[in-house]
Amino acid sequence: MSVPQQELNRDIKQLIIDSLGLEDISAQDIEDDQTLFGEGLGLDSVDALELGLAIQKRYGIKIDADAKDTRNHFTNVASLVAFVTARQAA
Amino acid sequence: MITVNISQWCAWAPGLQTRADWQAWATGNVSASAVTQAPDVSFLPALQRRRLSTLARMAFAVGWPLAEGLEKLPLVFVSRHGETPRTFAILSELARQEPLSPTQFSLSVHNAVIGLWSIMRGETSEMTAIAATDDGFEHGMLEAAGLLNDGSPAVLLIIAEDAPPAAYRQWIDDVPFAYAVGLLLTPGKQWQLSSSVAADVPAADLPHALSWLRATLNGQNGFIHSGKRCTWNWQHRP
């Protein structure tokens, strides 16, 4: 991972913690490939909406909630980093 | 007229947690702390408690110990003002033309607390959320008495109010401090509650649930709470 990618990775982990009120965990506790929703970190559908909103606000990108691949972008931190990078470049 | 037994109670306010704290409060020796704080609800898993507002934390803190070991326990939740900090946050976002937080929005409704209670306890008994005016305590008691009359062996009644955001304080004058009172009600005749047409009785100097608690701790066996539409007469037969 390049340096900007590493920063984005840390930034997104912190955004997950802050926007979802995960007060008892830190960015190091979230693995890049850990499943965020359902299994893994154990987040739910309200978290998905909240995180989607936080990412749109933070990175100034638009997320289409109905698009088929949106669910895949939210699989884990690695997929979110790839998604935000691609959208910011576009 | 209704009659009930109040088998147990539990109350929380900033600085007032134990029975001894409340006893000292009832005799006028201590007051609630002016510091904003929320009760400890670490008996809940972190992932579940993170979304609980102060109002929900207070309701859980007083209700959880009373519900211990009881299954199929109907719940009547009473709050006059509800989640004012959440609704104010949502209205502020609207005013700034920002998108609304889905978490704040989904938990701002009046029955959010009983919904969370149901999920976290796996409780599917009947639950009701009431917002009355200044006599929600008595209306909640009526609702609970109805559930007892329908055959429930016990009913949990929780009355909770959070301190409103500063912007509302000019209009909300009946929340001296954030508080929650939980009562475990069972069928019986220890307490008798009757209503009559509104008499010219001055309003209670405390919200009715706290006034009830103070009277109970001071061993007062009869007192009156005046509401807008009727006067409530409480009698205790120990």
Residue B216 inside a domain? The answer is yes
Mutate to test the interface with A, among B101, B104, B107, B108 (most CBs of A within 10 A): B101
Contact B50 A23 (CB under 8 A): yes
Query: Does any domain span residue B235?
Result: no
pLDDT in tens, chain B (238 residues): 999 999 999 999 999 999 999 999 999 999 999 888 899 999 998 888 999 999 999 999 999 999 999 989 999 999 999 999 999 999 999 999 999 999 999 999 999 999 999 999 999 999 999 999 899 999 999 999 999 999 999 999 999 999 999 999 999 999 999 999 999 999 999 999 999 987 777 778 899 999 999 999 999 999 999 888 889 999 999 7
* Mean pLDDT of the A16-40 span: 92
pLDDT of residue B88: 96
Supply the range of the domain harboring residue B27. 2-228
Query: What is the distance of C-alpha B204 from the center of its chain?
Result: 17
> Are the beta carbons of B51 and A21 separated by less than 8 Å?
yes
A20–B50 CB contact, under 8 Å: yes
CATH classification of the domain holding A78: 1.10.1200.10
Flag whether B125 is in a domain: yes
Interface predicted TM-score (ipTM) over 0.95: no
Residue B32 lies in a domain: yes
DSSP B171-203: T--S-SS-EEEEEEEEEEEEEEEEEEEPPS-PP
Tens digit of each residue's pLDDT (9 = 90 or more) over A55-68: 999 999 988 878 88
The CA distance from B103 to the nearest CA of chain A, in Å, is 6
Are B51 and A57 inside 8 Å of each other by CB?
no
Name, in order, each residue with C-beta under 8 angstroms of B90's C-beta and a sequence gap of 6 or more: B100, B101, B104, B105, B108
**Would you say residue B237 lies in a domain?**
no
Going by C-alpha positions, the residue among B132, B111, B114, B127 that lies closest to residue B208 is B132
Cβ contact B39:B12 at 8 Å: yes
Supply the CATH number for residue B191's domain: 3.40.47.10
Domain-embedded: residue B109: yes
Cβ(B94)–Cβ(B45) below 8 Å: no
Q: Which domain holds residue A47?
A: 3-89
For residue B68, what are its two tokens? 């211990």
Q: How far apart are CA B59 and CA B182, in angstroms?
A: 8
Q: Which residues contact B115 (CB under 8 A, 6 or more apart)?
A: none
How many domains, chain B? 1
Asked if B75 and B123 touch (Cβ cutoff 8 Å), the reply is yes
Residue B238 maps to a domain: no
> β-strand B75-78 against B179-197: which pairing, if any?
unpaired
Number of domains in chain A: 1
